[in-house]
Amino acid sequence: MRVFSFLKNTGKGFLWGLLLVLAVFVAYIYYCFSNLIYFLPVANRLHGDLSENNAVLITLHNESELRPTLGFLTGFILLKRNEDNDITMEFHDSYDIEAPKKPIIAPDVIERNFSTDSRYQGWVFRDTNFNMQYSQNAKNAIAFLGYDKRYKNVNISAVISLDMHAIEKIIDAVGGVEFQGKILHGENFFSVLESQAKQFNRSDEIAWKNRKGSIKPLAVSIIKKCIKSIFSWKNISNTIEVLFAQRHILFYSPQVQIQKIFAEHNLTGAITLDQSNIVWGINYANIGGKKGDRYIEKSVKSTFSLDKNGKITEKMEIQFAHNGTRNLHSDRYFGYIRVVKSENVKLVGFQKNSNYINDPAVHTPSFPHTSEFDLFFYVDPSSEET
């Protein structure tokens, strides 16, 4: 009886100890991720919806080739659930998506510069983020994915978009990631990835198609490191919160309730303008400068003058300096600028320091109650344009 009593009491002690450890672990998880707790019901909903024909689209962007939102759409992941109820990740190069059989007219900036090229296929998946509003770009990505017969029956429940900066910061948050015998940190991540994407036999069609093949194992390594790095969870969640605030990670869902939650927490990258305020905004895009934005230094200066009749004139000076050299990764930079101002603002003059800059034109406003002007320009390595 004494032996039985001892075992029974030991069993109770073990159970209470186990519950205590579990409670501490749950408290630690809450401590780490309380700043992102609002995301839990959304993640649970999206997770529950996953199937072979229902996916979350994750688009990967390279801001070294800047676009109106994030950067060039270099690749994407389809998050699904297979027949065994396991979560799967399909990785694809953005160039793998078939162009629509009947060419679609692209945004004006693309049509003006590429429509006369014999290789031009019309608007394609990888160029779907030329709108200044991210939600429209996400809708475009879903639509163009559906033009490819392989994905026309796949329903997209949400789009998550992130750039290289976001990946670099997450890697740093976990203290680096081991990949193919190297320790990757934020500072060397892009150069290693780019080197692998560039070093292949260009006469080998299979090698060309698989040049971005390292993205899949790298993503798996990052995810595993995030899960295993228990004592870095707080740092990871704080990093993600900052990336959300800085719009390096953006969200969209065609499901109204989920999109409402995204919008409430400023995760949609939405640009909202109050027509009672003076609008001042500049949007930049790389039209053809390889991955040159890493070398571009931009500066903007505005001065205002007021005449005796109360008329305000603004002189805006935009300067681009190309700090790169002409090589495989850097060449002449072809850029596109849109300036958004308040409604009824007129362009009264323009000066440029070279013929590398086109005269500006009035552009169809991207937002209600605004005026918009755009121009194209070139800047060579080791030079600047104003």
DSSP string, 344-366: T--------SSTTBPPPEE---S
Joined tokens for residue 46: 């999206």
- Residue 10 above 70 pLDDT? no
Of the three residues 240, 264, 288, the one that is the final residue of a domain is 264
CB 342 within 8 A of CB 371: yes
Of 204, 233, 264, which one is at a domain's C-terminal end?
Answer: 264
Range(s) of the domain holding residue 156:
35-264
Contact 334, 376 (CB under 8 A): yes
Residue 239 and residue 308 in one domain: no
CATH value at residue 94? 3.40.630
Structure tokens at 19: 């519950």
In a domain, 296, yes or no: yes
**191 and 233 assigned to the same domain:** yes
195, 307: one domain: no
Give mean pLDDT, residues 76-104: 88
- pLDDT at 60 > cutoff 90: yes
Task: Say yes or no: 133 and 103 in one domain.
Answer: yes
Output the pLDDT for position 165. Answer: 92
Residue 275 belongs to some domain of the structure? no
Cβ pair 279, 341 in contact under 8 A: yes
199 and 123 in a common domain: yes
What are the pLDDT digits (tens) for 13-59? 667 767 777 787 678 777 777 788 888 888 888 888 888 888 999 99
**Domain contains 181:** yes
Do 111 and 258 lie in a common domain?
yes
- C-alpha 104/C-alpha 110 separation (Å) is 12
The percent of residues in the chain predicted with pLDDT above 70, rounded, is 88
Confidence class for position 249, pLDDT limits 50, 70, 90? very high
Contact 329, 290 (CB under 8 A): yes
Nearest alpha carbon to residue 253 among 380, 335, 161, 119:
161
pLDDT of residue 278: 61
pLDDT at 197: 61
Number of domains forming the structure of the chain: 3
Same domain for 248 and 136: yes
Could you tell me if 95 and 221 lie in one domain? yes
Q: How far is CA 346 from the centre of its chain?
A: 33
DSSP 107-159: PHHHHHHHTTSTT--SS-GGG---SSSHHHHHHHHHHHHHTSTTTTTPEEEEE
Report helix, strand or coil for 248.
Answer: coil
Tell whether 16 and 59 lie within a shared domain: no
Residue 271 lies in a domain: no
Tell me whether residue 272 is in a domain: no
Token output for 106:
């692209």
Residue in the structure block whose two tokens are 């309730």: 257
Q: How high is the pLDDT of residue 255?
A: 92
User: Quick one: 78 and 61 in the same domain?
Assistant: yes
Give dist(CA 209, CA 93) in Å, integer.
8
Same domain, 231 and 302: no
According to DSSP, the residues that pair with 179 across neighbouring strands are 182
Domain finish residue from 204, 232, 264: 264
Strand partners, 319: 299
In a domain, 197, yes or no: yes
Q: Is residue 379 part of a domain?
A: yes
Alpha helices in the chain (DSSP H): 2-33, 40-49, 108-114, 134-146, 164-173, 186-198, 205-209, 215-228, 233-245, 256-264
46 domain residue, yes or no:
yes
Q: Is residue 40 located within the same domain as residue 110?
A: yes
